[in-house]
Amino acid sequence: MSETNHKPHVVCVPFPGQGHVTPMLKLAKLLHHKGFYVTFINTHFIHQRLLKSRGLDSLNSPPDFPFESIPDGLPLSSLDLTNQLDIPALCDSTRKNCVTPFRDLIATLNNTASIPPVSCILSDGVMSFTLQVGKEIGVPEVLFWTPSVCGFMTYLHYELLIQRGLVPLKDERDCFNGYLETPIDWKQGMNHIQLKDLPSFIRTTDLEDIMLSFSIGEAQRSYEASAIIFNSFDALEFEVLSAIKSELKLHPIYAIGPLQLLINHVMISEENITRYKSIGLSLWEVEDLKCLNWLDSKPPNSVSR
């Protein structure tokens, strides 16, 4: 049996959007650097979009860091790189179409002699369909929430906002008439916030809005995970991390960020630069770097939000 077969095998499943794929890839690189066999699973739509935008070289990874994809139900006609991604369609499609092909792919991986058996599933917090498969094969499932810890806490309490009659909005004019300045003073660890500070999925008049119901469902399923991790750190969100640990008493909660600093440390060696630098998952053919050039032209510590 080869050395590869003795490695722990983590399957990484990002949500098919740039702000989710990028941090998951950083975490996957770190795990691979620590000795894991990593299978990185995109949806067909995102996989094809990546190939179209970056070419085959973007997936030029080591043998023990393969990329796979599963069908998601989205039409490949949507692959025009000039188009914005239809996020509600992505969310609706993944939760309806991905669990069966994901189960089949895991079975294929586990039945391939040259690949170590899957020992852990690491999924984006909003790809919770994977929880069912993790239970079926008896491996732990870790959910990686890519928003801030504060954002996750808000999703956990969306249902309470509905119960209190604050959401959905009574009228579209509530977005502009001062209603969003309503204080939310009952969230432990999150003081002095208003409705306008919450993720914008609450800004709907439809109780059945796809993004509202999707956010509620995914947050509630986090209670089923073996552990939850965040790309954050204690000094940044200590109070809300403490509140979430109190609310999810039986679940390990870890703040493992900022991932970019960890990646920078790994990339010090020439060997790792060669190994990982070519693996890039940008969904855009040409990235607009004008904002970075503008920031670089300013004196240190002179630009604020």
CB-based contact 216:205 (threshold 8 Å): no
* CB 225 within 8 Å of CB 235: no
d(CA 23, CA 25): 5
Say how many C-beta atoms besides its own lie within 10 A of residue 262's C-beta. Answer: 16
The structure tokens listed for 3 are 């050395």
SS (HEC) of 47-63? HHHHHHHHCHHHHCCCC
End-to-end CA distance of the chain: 54
- Lookup: tokens for 156: 């956990």
Burial of 305 (0-12, 13-18, 19+ CB in 10 A): exposed
Counting other chains too, the contacts that 88-94 makes at CB distance below 8 Å and 24 or more residues apart are 88/210, 88/211, 88/214, 90/15, 90/16, 90/17, 90/45, 91/126, 91/210, 91/211, 91/214, 92/210, 92/214, 94/15, 94/16, 94/43, 94/127, 94/129
Q: Which residue has the tokens 């969100």?
A: 237
Which of the residues are catalytic? 20, 124
In b/e form, how buried is each residue of 222-241, taking b as 16+ CB within 10 angstroms?
A: beebebbbbbbeeeebeebb
